[in-house]
């Protein structure tokens, strides 16, 4: 996924569903690690299959890809908050929006280029890419998440799926974040900005100015339309 597209939530859901264990911040990397940290990852799918999370635009062999997308207007607001939380971006939201539009807000390029890469990739042409809109996962969690599990050919009991969804609701995720902070998780970040934010799908409406929205829609309009965001 592009950063701040709901990947952490999806990782928590997958971890808890496939392992039957409580998903906790810091622990999910044992079964759903970021790329580069997968050497000792646990096998959680059939035939010793593993799950690896990445923001990179790279595909070198046949493998299934679950690709999470989110409205660019929501992503820019969420990423700005996240970078302020980590104390890596001291500038204004207006300046950040311009960096985001130019693909300079993070090492992974622009939102539109990232989506175009994966939707036109070899895995997409071969039917090995399963796209998940964050907004759909939020509004119809069980059915959309079941689609992910079916794509991964993961045979999981329905009750376990429902339990994982309940455990990792917005309130559940926030409670896990609070518990992790009490246990010393990421002590150097700003305590006044949460990692698990509001979870809204249209919070950008109260965060972005009309001018910022126009700039984003002018830059990413075709891609946003193709995804149903315009």
123-146: pLDDT as tens digits: 999 999 999 999 999 999 999 999
Identify the three-state secondary structure at position 129: strand
Is the predicted pLDDT of residue 112 greater than 80, yes or no?
yes
How far apart CA 118 and CA 122 sit, in angstroms, is 8
**Nearest CA-CA partner of 97 in 210, 222, 223, 229:** 210
Give the distance from CA 141 to its chain's centroid: 14
- The secondary structure of the chain in percent helix, strand, coil, rounded to multiples of 5, reads 50, 5, 45
pLDDT for the residue 200: 66
How far apart CA 101 and CA 118 sit, in angstroms, is 19
Q: What is the mean pLDDT of residues 11-39?
A: 86
Percent of the chain residues past pLDDT 70, beyond the cut: 91
pLDDT for the residue 169: 82
């Amino acid at each position: 996924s592009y950063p701040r597209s709901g990947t952490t939530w999806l990782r928590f859901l997958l971890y808890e569903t496939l392992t039957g264990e409580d998903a906790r911040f810091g622990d999910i990397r044992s079964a759903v690690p970021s790329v580069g940290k997968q050497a000792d990852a646990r096998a959680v799918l059939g035939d010793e299959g593993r799950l690896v999370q990445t923001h990179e635009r790279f595909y070198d062999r046949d493998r299934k890809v679950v690709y999470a997308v989110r409205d660019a207007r929501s992503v820019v607001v969420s990423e700005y908050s996240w970078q302020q939380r980590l104390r890596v971006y001291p500038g204004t939201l207006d300046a950040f929006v311009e960096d985001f539009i130019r693909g300079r807000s993070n090492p992974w390029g622009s939102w539109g280029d990232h989506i175009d890469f994966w939707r036109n990739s070899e895995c997409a042409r071969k039917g090995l890419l399963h796209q998940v809109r964050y907004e759909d996962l939020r509004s119809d969690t069980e059915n959309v998440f079941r689609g992910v599990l079916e794509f991964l050919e993961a045979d999981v009991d329905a009750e376990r799926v429902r339990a994982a969804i309940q455990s990792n609701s917005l309130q559940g995720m926030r409670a896990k974040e609070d518990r992790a902070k009490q246990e010393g998780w990421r002590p150097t970040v700003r305590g006044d900005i949460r990692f698990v934010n509001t979870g809204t799908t249209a919070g950008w409406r109260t965060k972005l100015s009309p001018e910022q929205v126009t700039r984003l829609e002018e830059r990413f309009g075709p891609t946003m339309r193709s995804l149903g965001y315009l």
